[in-house]
């Protein structure tokens, strides 16, 4: 029997604005899970989508995490760095040369014709899978998803999951029409290269997990355990986000922010004197609730 890998978790914010309460919930859950396993906790700045990067947001996020008592155990990775871009290029070229990735000429408008399915996706109809239509040029690049692939996994919060990626999502974009690498490619390349064993993040990414596992499998990497924690919603039921005007957290009141995030995760309020007191108590409770989840199956039976 091989020994289990030592725990490595991460928080991967996009620097499109300061942290709001919803992002603190994801940060806190990933931090507590790592700490309660005596694991490492990394911070990665997901600035792959350069048009959405806001100047100064990264510095603000790092300062906010510091104020909340969450410190990364290793150097901060940035997706925009030359080293990472080189790695994405290398993977992209390898997959393209092997025929795993193909050029797609379809425009956004053409793809809007496909109806949205029960999973909230417009599955790619495969138009360019066997070659570009005559006279058309590649705009984006898609991964050829194996036709028979039902991805099954256990989510430590949401329970058993499965997705027939080819039918429900179809061949998905790994390089966008503007030339940028897609989030799905970058996030998997980074998680694999950083040796991430545990992904704890917001529930909005639960539906991306199966397609990410297709990439983990392609890289022959051992899939991580996953946990998708609840999102904070606005009064009209939308995910609280920078786009819909979520306020930045108040850095002068870190304990109240941590407590609000803690309660959003379904825990009872605690009487705490300081940020470190909060983390000490929260870690014990987290461990009591999720400690056994560590061994929850995450394989594809």
Is there a contact between 198 and 7 (Cβ–Cβ < 8 Å)?
yes
Q: Which of 187, 196, 206, 215 lies at the binding interface for ligand GLU (CB under 6 A)?
A: 187
- Closest to ligand GLU by CB, 13 or 123: 13
Residue that the structure tokens 């694999």 belong to: 192
Determine the distance from the C-alpha atom of residue 40 to the mean position of all C-alpha atoms in its chain, rounded to a whole number: 17
Q: Which of 205, 218, 231, 283 lies at the binding interface for ligand GLU (CB under 6 A)?
A: 205
Asked whether position 33 contacts ligand GLU by CB under 6 A, the answer is no
**x/- string (CB under 6 A) for ligand GLU, residues 40-69?**
------x-----------------------
Asked whether position 151 contacts ligand GLU by CB under 6 A, the answer is no
The two three-digit tokens of residue 231, written as one number: 């999102």
Q: Which of 7, 8, 12, 210 lies at the binding interface for ligand GLU (CB under 6 A)?
A: 12
**Number of residues counted as binding ligand GLU (CB under 6 A):** 7
Cα–Cα distances (Å) from 130 to 20, 126, 135, 261, in that order, read: 44, 8, 15, 48
101-45-204 Cα angle (round to 5): 70
- Closest to ligand GLU by CB, 23 or 106: 23
Asked whether position 17 contacts ligand GLU by CB under 6 A, the answer is no
- Closest to ligand GLU by CB, 175 or 242: 242
The two three-digit tokens of residue 167, written as one number: 């039918």
- Closest to ligand GLU by CB, 45 or 145: 45
Asked whether position 203 contacts ligand GLU by CB under 6 A, the answer is no
Asked whether position 201 contacts ligand GLU by CB under 6 A, the answer is yes
Packed helices 82-97 and 183-193: angle between N→C axes, nearest 10 degrees: 110
Determine the distance from the C-alpha atom of residue 86 to the mean position of all C-alpha atoms in its chain, rounded to a whole number: 21
Q: Pick the closest to residue 69 from 229, 254, 249, 253 (CA basis).
A: 254
**Binding footprint of ligand GLU on the chain (CB under 6 A):** 12-14, 46, 187, 201, 205
């Amino acid at each position: 029997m091989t020994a289990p890998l030592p725990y490595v978790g991460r928080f991967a914010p996009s620097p499109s604005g300061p942290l709001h309460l919803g992002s603190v919930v994801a940060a806190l859950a990933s931090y507590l899970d790592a700490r309660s396993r005596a694991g490492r906790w990394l911070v990665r700045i997901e600035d792959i989508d350069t048009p959405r990067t806001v100047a100064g947001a990264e510095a603000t996020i790092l300062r906010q995490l510091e104020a909340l008592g969450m410190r990364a155990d290793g150097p901060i990775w940035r997706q925009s760095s030359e080293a990472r871009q080189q790695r994405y290029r290398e993977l992209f070229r390898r997959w393209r040369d092997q025929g795993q990735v193909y050029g797609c000429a379809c425009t956004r408008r053409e793809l809007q014709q496909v109806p949205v399915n029960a999973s909230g996706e417009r599955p790619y109809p495969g138009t360019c899978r066997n070659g570009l239509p005559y006279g058309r040029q590649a705009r984006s690049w898609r991964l050829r998803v194996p036709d028979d692939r039902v991805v099954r996994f256990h989510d430590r919060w949401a329970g058993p999951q499965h997705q027939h990626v080819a039918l429900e999502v179809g061949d998905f974009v790994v390089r966008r029409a503007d030339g940028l690498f897609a989030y799905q490619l970058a996030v998997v390349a980074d998680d694999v290269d950083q040796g991430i064993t545990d992904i704890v993040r917001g529930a909005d990414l639960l539906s991306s997990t199966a397609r990410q596992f297709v990439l983990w499998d392609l890289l022959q990497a051992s899939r991580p355990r996953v946990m998708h924690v609840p999102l904070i919603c606005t009064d009209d039921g939308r995910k609280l986000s920078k786009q819909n005007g979520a306020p930045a957290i108040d850095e002068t009141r870190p304990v109240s922010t941590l407590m609000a995030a803690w309660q959003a995760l379904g825990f009872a309020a605690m009487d705490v004197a300081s940020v470190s007191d909060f983390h000490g108590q929260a870690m014990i409770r987290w461990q009591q609730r999720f400690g056994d989840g560590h061994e929850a199956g995450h394989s594809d039976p």
